[in-house]
Amino acid sequence: MKSRVNIKRVYEPAQKKDGYRVLVDRLWPRGVKKEDARIDEWMKYIAPSPGLRKWFGHQPERWGPFSRAYRAELKEAVEPVQKLADCIRQHSKVTLIYAARDEQHTHALVLHRFMEKYLENQNDMK
């Protein structure tokens, strides 16, 4: 089954194919006007905790421990995860929007994979 969820940097132009655009950063992206971002919903509480975000500091050598710690946070974040899952089910296409420069070491990747597994597990339980 093709994923209905994509990820994209906020600095890339919004496109119709993005579908419902959800900002998943805790802080509003620098230099981006709200009207230009075309964000449909801002789910700041699904982002890594401030302490984890600051510790990671976008240092690739911390990627493994960061990913594990963020997944642990997501497992405890029942309400925000369920809200995002409901959003994904409600819309035919959802794009998780983030601001990090490094596209290989961003929490949006971890969140995307986590949500795919979460939704798959919920479908298996039906």
Computed over every residue of the chain, the mean pLDDT equals: 93
- The count of other CB atoms within 10 Å of the CB of residue 81 is 20
**End-to-end CA distance of the chain, in Å?**
17
Q: What is the pLDDT of residues 38-48, one digit of tens each?
A: 999 999 999 99
Each residue of 108-123: pLDDT tens digit? 999 999 999 999 887 7
Q: For residue 82, is pLDDT > 90?
A: yes
Alpha-carbon gap, residue 74 to 70, rounded angstroms: 6
20-23 and 5-9: which strand pairing? unpaired
User: Once rounded to an integer, what is the mean pLDDT over residues 74-87?
Assistant: 96
